[in-house]
Amino acid sequence: MNRMLYLEDISVSFDGFKALNALTLYIDAGELRCVIGPNGAGKTTMMDVITGKTRPDAGSAWFGQTTDLLKLTEPEIAEAGIGRKFQKPTVFEQHTVAENLQLAVAGNKSLWATLFAPLSAKQRERIDEVLETIRLQDRRDIRAGALSHGQKQWLEIGMLLAQEPRLLLVDEPVAGMTPQEVERTAELLLSLAGKHSVMVVEHDMDFVRSIANKVTVLHEGRVLAEGTIDDVQADPRVVEVYLGQ
């Protein structure tokens, strides 16, 4: 299988606290991977490292064979093909749904281009496609701030898609969603796997069960267990961490 993301021996510490402790993790091309773990396990810090927000103290992070993530800034990493959805839905609330997607859509993002070049036909097509995928066609011209919580989450996933990333990092996509919304989100994420690599961080075990074939459990900044959801849930170390026996 083709590997997409290589994290090897990544360590990050904040004032002596080891948020990540020699973490090693690989993601394959087209894979949908769930990452779970108790609070403070290092899930968000790991995403921060991948997207360039936090620089690790040690270790290496490669995207594909040729891209050293530790040498790039956030926008460069985005350009290289890694998109991120935050824990709290952060869409641009003052902009309309369509404008949010226009902002995200792949293309030249320099000041010069956005000042003088209109969107290309291909970009506009892409935006329509994404609107359809996230089922917000009839909401395209309303302000994103007026969307429901679930719709904001979808819009944010839609913005990721419009970026046409090869790897999507999705942080707690179903927090605060109704059961119907959770179901639709699961469908959405499943439909993305294959075309993209997707890494989902989630607490909701039922949701994880409904989408993942492979699960990674983080604990105290390193990988505790990896495997199918059943294997992982049967692992006594995982049970101990989760139930605190």
58: enclosing H helix or E strand: strand 58-63
The least CB distance from residue 163 to other proteins, in Å, is 6
The least CB distance from residue 183 to other proteins, in Å, is 27
Find out whether 59 and 68 touch, Cβ atoms under 8 Å.
Answer: no
Q: Decide whether 110 or 180 has the Cβ nearer to other proteins.
A: 110
Structure tokens at 239: 């049970």
* One-letter amino acid of 123: Q
Helix (H, G, I), strand (E, B) or coil at 32: strand
Strand partners, 26: 6
Q: Give CA 73 to chain center in angstroms.
A: 17
Q: Decide whether 37 or 165 has the Cβ nearer to other proteins.
A: 165
Q: Decide whether 93 or 132 has the Cβ nearer to other proteins.
A: 93
The least CB distance from residue 1 to other proteins, in Å, is 27
Q: Decide whether 14 or 180 has the Cβ nearer to other proteins.
A: 14
**Backbone torsions φ then ψ of 161, nearest 5 degrees:** -65, -40
* One-letter amino acid of 209: R
Among candidate residues 86, 79, 87, the one with its CA nearest the CA of residue 105: 79
The least CB distance from residue 178 to other proteins, in Å, is 25
State the residues that interact with other proteins by CB under 8 A.
51, 53, 73-75, 78-79, 83-84, 86, 90, 92-95, 99, 102-104, 109-111, 114-119, 159, 163
d(Cα 135, Cα 27) in Å, to the nearest integer? 28
Q: Decide whether 67 or 114 has the Cβ nearer to other proteins.
A: 114
List C-alpha distances in Å: 220 to 17, 116, 230.
10, 49, 22
Q: For the chain, how far is it from start to end, CA to CA, in angstroms?
A: 37
The least CB distance from residue 128 to other proteins, in Å, is 13
Q: Which residues contact 121 (CB under 8 A, 6 or more apart)?
A: none
Q: Decide whether 153 or 163 has the Cβ nearer to other proteins.
A: 163
Q: Three-state SS string across 8-30, please? A: EEEEEEECCEEEEEEEEEEEECC
Q: Decide whether 151 or 241 has the Cβ nearer to other proteins.
A: 151
The least CB distance from residue 143 to other proteins, in Å, is 11
